[in-house]
Amino acid sequence: MADQVLEGSQPVDLAKHPSGIVPTLQNIVSTVNLDCKLDLKAIALQARNAEYNPKRFAAVIMRIREPKTTALIFASGKMVCTGAKSEQQSKLAARKYARIIQKLGFPAKFKDFKIQNIVGSCDVKFPIRLEGLAYSHGAFSSVSSCSVTGQNGTIVFPSLGCNLSVQYEPELFPGLIYRMKQPKIVLLIFVSGKIVLTGAKVRDETYTAFENIYPVLTEFRKSQQYGLEFIEGNEKERYIYIRLKENLQHVTV
């Protein structure tokens, strides 16, 4: 039997999640074809849980409380369902929306249901050196490495081959954007250790992407330093490292 640890009150299968961390699914986006033309104005007038403003958006926005979701319903019969926390909830919600449309007198069907995007998140519980993650391998470029050139120079990740691209512009966005090619997932990595994963079609892609990135995150774990530090070889300067919130502030005295 595979080793297990407890994350909160839930057991974690270490064979499947070696890091001991399981990303939490936050949003499932799915689509379905109702296979009939719809009168959006009539739907908005008859349904109490719907709104329609064609000048702003060409779809009816409908909401239900259980599962707590939002649907975008288009005149073509196509529907997008967002907000569910699992694949099963997403499908259940989509069926409920289809049933509402049927009760309004439209010959709605339920065809081609598909999960389009899964958004997950987790917390590795330690701060991350995003600058180091973005730049530290720049001097070790090799044929097997993956390099990305941007305004701040070339970012090189030899250990992961050509399976990713990285963008870190803290002036524009506080997180590091990490595009993994296999599985095809986009990760938003924040200095606090919070991670957002998006782009998966099945939940295992989210889990695999996190397990792939976790060793890299531990490599760039920000060390916690407190008190007075003396720089070797320089007696005139002393450096105090003060932990301010989640960042280390560098002060010369």
102: three-class secondary structure by DSSP: helix
Any domain includes 18: no
Any domain includes 37: yes
* 27-47 tens-digit pLDDT: 999 999 999 999 999 999 999
211: three-class secondary structure by DSSP: helix
Report how many domains make up the chain: 1
pLDDT of 4 strictly over 70 = no
Which of 251 and 193 is assigned the larger pLDDT? 193
Any domain includes 179: no
The predicted structure's pLDDT at residue 11: 76
Residue indicated by tokens 């050196």: 129
Dig out the tokens for 46 from the structure: 């008859």
Which of 168 and 225 is assigned the larger pLDDT? 168
111: three-class secondary structure by DSSP: strand
Any domain includes 163: no
- Region 60-64: mean pLDDT is 98
The predicted structure's pLDDT at residue 245: 35
List residues bridging with 179 in a β-sheet: 165, 186
Q: Residue 72's domain is classified under what CATH number? A: 3.30.310.10
Dig out the tokens for 96 from the structure: 């409920």
Query: How many whole angstroms separate alpha carbon 188 and alpha carbon 169?
Result: 12
Any domain includes 52: yes
The predicted structure's pLDDT at residue 230: 35
- Region 147-158: mean pLDDT is 44
How far separated are the first and last CA of the chain, in Å rounded?
Answer: 57
Tell me the pLDDT band of 93, cut-offs 50, 70 and 90.
very high
Boundaries of domain holding 67: 29-115
Any domain includes 106: yes
Any domain includes 189: no
> pTM for this one?
0.75
Any domain includes 103: yes
The predicted structure's pLDDT at residue 224: 62
* 154-203 tens-digit pLDDT: 444 444 444 458 888 899 999 999 988 899 999 999 999 999 999 999 99
